[in-house]
Structure 1
């Protein structure tokens, strides 16, 4: 069965019939089966054989059972998940406060990427995992496309579609981050670049599927498909979905805990473009070349915080020359819930607030001084 495309997805009874046909080419097989997830049918497949000299040709056809209404609801849910008003709405107030800068003729705002905000939101990541498996019928068909190599374009499209499994990795990372923070064990885990996680997940999902369905490992997954199947003419994918999600999701955890023993020193110039994920570094360097910002321009901001969601303000004088780059972060992206942290709020007359972490040598208590602008109502800090 390892030589048969999609053989892993067939019921055991149909697998046995096809094997019997291979040994006796005078016998032909034709049967249909249902692919289910939690007893709900998402695909109907039919397989039939045609003898050809000393071999047997196996044909298969699959039809998704999703309705137009169900697909429309799914599309609406996805659109709502991509709207992150808690982030982009803050830029309106940010633009207004830029008028407070003295001796500045123009301010250019480089908008950040809010990916890091919802990547650490366990509920949102789990919703996106559910969104992947809401399309289990499509995932099923794309796995079939990956398991064959005769049609390269179908293989490539299936390979690309399976990169959605990156949400398995992100959901495991977000839940692990929450648990580590709760038990104050953040130092056990080395931070991972979300861009590299996405690339790794995209590259691994395809080969991982091929190993599952095209090697001896298919025996295990075939058992998963059939162990709780309601009949001999159906397969139940719930167990396989659970195992597939866990195996791919725990890969970045093994990497993060493993890299803890080989820490790489990060740069200390927090306001610099180099203190970013790979995606932000590439985009910001391209934008800097277009905006004419010299490498030796004064930079500030991001002293105790730095994320891809941070934005940059490029300040220009009256001659159009960049004189300063300011890095700003959203205040609710900074964790101030530590029991050993004493937060002190102080007023400031600057355009944006800033934070300073000062340890008390006598008591050992760490004090976080939050300098908040008077009457600004701005959620951004330097």
Structure 2
């Protein structure tokens, strides 16, 4: 049975039941322009869906980010799936995933087919400019979320403490621990007066369906290794390796690379040189780094390889994310309406801002700002996003051109 749909809050606009094609086009544009890794992706999403399109409020967006931080897998892709669910159910979630994933997956598959110029024709200076723009995007997200979610001294304090701990313990496990502790602190400190400000997402997933999706996730997690041992087919081994990589990694992005290297290089499915070449190309494309799986699938020394191998590995590594989001959302929506849960979420949201602030320094700032000119480009990009209200894709293109022009003048 589908959940009833509440009245739309006044902060949203447009048709909540937007068709899947419309969702796909929105995320396709983001997939073509979202450089900078998962933290930057969350910044792009916030600007697009909170500020411009008003699909969700600031608070509800932060709630989704907090949920996806708890789940293993690529947080930005999972937030995208959840936003797609809110617009058009299952088809919206699949459309959001396809749109955001297709550009980088296509580029990496082409690179695997031998078009090595895909990774080398982009000037080094332009690539550095794309790293610099990520600083501005994340800074904009921190600025906006802090103003809306850290509105009193206790929440500002939680934000600062979370930031400091994240810098001292830069690990995915540390981030999960910070969020858990912030929830406990919020439960003890905050006393919401009513649940009246709870504006649930129009998620059309029943609790029974959520249980089925979670059961399927854990069934595959346990059953695929057993099936691989019983049936010596390479396709099953591929699905097992990439499903486990997507299911057991907190933090996403670069965190999954050691697992993938062990999964495909150690047994000889992909050579180490090819693996490293693909990893380099993955840095030059927008969108989620998990699409590196498509490159590996297309580069296999054993069948299936080519396009079939790319599709098998790409679907396998993202399947855990879809199952977990679809399984967790119906319970998350009901928990969010509880006063005690709201108190915990107030602490968690403040901690999420602190985690983003820590990520703004490392790895975003430390990997991009090396010279005064880098800082200058980042400041101009930040002003363009926050005060001039330019579209993010224009700012991304401008920073790429600026980085390239600066490199020519040296």
Greater strand fraction, Structure 1 or Structure 2: 1
- Bigger share in helix: 2
TM-score band w.r.t. shorter chain: under 0.3
Which has the larger Rg?
1
* Higher RCO structure (Cα 8 Å, ≥6 apart): 2
- TM-score of the aligned structures, taking structure 2 as reference length: 0.24
